[in-house]
Structure formats: C-alpha cells, structure tokens
C-alpha cells in the first residue's frame, strides 16, 4: 500500500494544478488518472482565457475569474521554469462580436458595470471591427473588445504542467482507475483502484465530468458532461489578430496558423463524438462572421466533455466527510480558473484559511 499526504483524483488541469501547488508546499502527492494526463476536457479546449465577456454579473465567480487572470502570468512563468517547456501564452485581448441588437444591449449593460469596477471594454462599430480584423467580412452589428483578456495553448500548458508536477515529486499514475473511496468513521482513509490500494488522510475529487464516479462517490455531486465539438483549419499566419467570441461560436488562431473553431454546448451528452448537427452549427455560425475559412484547409476535429454543475459554477471545498474535498464543475472556465483553484484549495487543505471566500461553490449545499 502506497502512502501519501494527499491523493488527487483526475489528471486534468485542475487536478494537476492543485498537485503541483501542494507538492511545492511540501506535501507528498499522487495524481490518479484513468487515462493520460490532460486527455479529457483540458486537452480539448481552445484556451481562450475569458474573464469578462461571458459573465453576467459581479458575483463570486466573476471575482474568482479576475483573481485567476491576475495570477496567470506568474503561474505560467513558474511552470515554464519548472518544466523547461515554453507555453504559448499571450495577452492580445478578446473581441466579443454581437450579431443582434438584443445581444448588443446585453453587452452594453455588461460593459457599464465592468467599467465601474475598473475593467476595460471598448465598443467597436462594424467599421472599427473590420479595420482591426479585416478577415471579419460577415454579418454583425458591432463588437466589444476586452484588451486585458488573454489566451494560452492549452495542449502545451498541460505538457508543462505534467512535467512540473513530476519535477516537484508528484507521483503521476496514469491508466489507473479509482473504484472506491475508503471512508471509516466519517473520515477518508484513502482509495482503492483497479491496480492497488493507496492510503492518505486527504482525497480531492478533480474528476471533472466523471466526479460522481458512476454513483460510487460517497456524496451527491450534480455534475454532468457538456459536450463541445470543435474543428481546426490551417490558414495564413496572422489572418485573425485576436481570439473572437460570439453567440454563434468562437475562433482563435495559433501562432503556427491553425484556426480553432467551436464550440457546441450539449449538456448531458457523455460521448466524445462528432455529429453532423454539431459540425453544421459550428460552420454556419462562423460563416455568419467571416468567409476567410473558405480558403483554409481542414486539419482536425474533436469533441471534449466539460463538467457542468447545473449552475455553471464550480463545486469546490470540503465535503461532509472529513478529509474528502471536491474541485470540479468548472464548465467553460476550467483553463482560466486552474491557478486560483489550486491556490485557494491548497490554502483550505493545509491551513483551513483560504484567501478567497468560495463558500458559494461549496458541495455541502447539495448534501445537507
């Protein structure tokens, strides 16, 4: 039986970020991943770090996103040093396109309260959008540019994070599935897997869409998969100067010319499958904004499963069982929220005094 201070279930970006944080703070940590590191939602994302455009009010999730954005540059720099892997992180802003007057009014309201909080959001007319993004020759009524937003190549980020975990002494155990959480007298004692038993006084569930463990997790976690389908094309470098989002989809161009286009939101769909309807909706949505992809070469397509909690908010904190914690349900903000989730969960686990009040995300509200 292997013994650890903390066992983390799930090798996505949330689990690996927390493992690296805890290991830096002197903990013996294991990550148990049924597949390979970053092979689920973390590797399937587009890497747009949007902390403003898709949040509707100044609530706890919004504040958490702002803290994550502030942490990101130093977090990336540390992972690059620890791993020796260069992560493509850039802050060139995000352009949110609006295609209807109603959507424009919604964004105007959003811009007003965000400006009161000191955040930048510029309103662009259609002619200003075309001047800044000549490839956007489609139909839209305007855009809202958020210069403080950023993007990251999430595939490179996961490689760097996995290497940083190993360099910090984390026992990364791939292709090992957890079958049972060992609980005695309302306190966690470890886990059993399809290969071994592992002892630890602290277990953190970072299993994403599979957090309920098929009903085997000791408490109720209302998390379901939300499938997102994506397409990739290759075009001239610099065709799109910044990531773009709208109610019809989003696109982001990598440095090597790849253009990632997505994405569907299919709640309750648990198969990583591509469908005709999903592909059609993506292509029609993007074609409404630009014809530039007509001359691009199709290179890839995939689907990922985002963990959706029913409210769009994550589930984070200690459960009603001593030593059993949860960090899942980050939905569309998992890549962005990884550094702040790791920081405050580590503070909670080690000191019981997190620097951020995330009680609105507590899993206990479903198990009282």
pLDDT single digits (tens) 71-105: 999 999 999 999 999 999 999 999 999 999 999 99
Domain with CATH 3.50.50.60 in the chain: 2-64+155-219+311-366
| Residue showing tokens 């470098």 | 237
Three-state secondary structure call for residue 102: helix
Residue 246 pLDDT grade (very low, low, confident, very high; cuts 50, 70, 90): very high
d(CA 207, CA 186): 21
Closest CA to 46 of 237, 245, 260, 356: 260
Average pLDDT over residues 127-132: 97
The pLDDT, as a whole number, for residue 367 is: 63
Considering the chain, tell me which residue range(s) the CATH 3.30.9.10 domain(s) occupy: 94-147+224-308
Percentage above 90 pLDDT, the chain: 92
Contact 214, 30 (CB under 8 A): no
User: What band does 365 get if pLDDT is binned at 50, 70 and 90?
Assistant: confident
Q: Per-residue pLDDT averaged across 352-359, rounded?
A: 89
What is the band of 124 on the pLDDT scale with cuts at 50, 70, 90? very high
Task: Give dist(CA 323, CA 214) in Å, integer.
Answer: 21
Sign of the CA dihedral 61, 94, 244, 142? positive
CATH of domain 2-64+155-219+311-366: 3.50.50.60
| Residue that the structure tokens 């990583």 belong to | 272
The fold of the 94-147+224-308 domain, in CATH, is D-Amino Acid Oxidase; Chain A, domain 2 (3.30.9)
Select the more confidently predicted residue: 247 or 150.
150
In percent, how much of the chain has pLDDT > 70? 99
35-64 per-position pLDDT tens digit: 999 999 999 999 999 999 888 899 999 999
């Amino acid at each position: 039986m292997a013994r650890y201070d903390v066992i983390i279930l799930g090798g996505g970006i949330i689990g690996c970020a927390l493992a690296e944080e805890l290991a830096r703070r002197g903990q013996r940590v294991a990550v148990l991943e049924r597949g390979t590191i970053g092979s689920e939602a973390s590797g399937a994302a587009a890497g747009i770090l949007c902390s403003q455009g898709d949040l509707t009010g100044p609530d706890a999730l919004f504040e958490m996103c702002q803290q994550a954005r502030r942490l990101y540059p130093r977090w990336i720099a540390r992972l690059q040093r620890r791993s020796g892997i260069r992560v493509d992180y850039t802050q060139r802003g995000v352009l949110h396109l609006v295609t209807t007057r109603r959507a424009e009014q919604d964004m105007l309201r959003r811009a007003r309260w965000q400006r009161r909080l000191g955040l930048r959001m510029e309103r662009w007319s259609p002619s200003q959008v075309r001047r800044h993004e000549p490839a956007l020759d489609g139909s839209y009524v305007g855009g809202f540019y958020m210069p403080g937003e950023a993007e990251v190549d999430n595939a490179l980020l996961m490689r760097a994070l996995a290497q940083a975990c190993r360099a910090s002494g984390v026992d990364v155990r791939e292709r090992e599935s957890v079958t049972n959480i060992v609980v005695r007298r309302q306190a966690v004692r470890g886990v059993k897997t399809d290969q071994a038993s592992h002892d630890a006084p602290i277990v953190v569930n970072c299993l994403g869409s599979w957090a309920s463990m098929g009903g085997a997790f000791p408490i109720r976690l209302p998390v379901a998969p939300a499938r997102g389908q994506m397409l990739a094309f290759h075009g001239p470098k610099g065709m799109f100067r910044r990531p773009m989002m709208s109610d019809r989809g989003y696109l982001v161009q990598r440095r090597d010319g790849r253009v990632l286009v997505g994405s569907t939101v299919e709640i309750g769909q648990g198969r990583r499958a591509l469908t005709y309807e999903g592909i059609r909706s993506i292509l029609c949505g993007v074609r409404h904004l630009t014809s530039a992809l007509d001359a691009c070469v199709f290179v890839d397509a995939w689907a990922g499963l985002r963990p959706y909690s029913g409210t769009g908010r994550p589930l984070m904190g200690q459960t009603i069982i001593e030593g059993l914690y949860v960090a899942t349900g980050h939905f569309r903000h998992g890549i962005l929220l990884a550094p702040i989730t790791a920081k405050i969960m580590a503070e909670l686990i080690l000191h019981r005094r997190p620097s951020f009040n995330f009680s609105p995300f507590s899993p206990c509200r479903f198990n009282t």
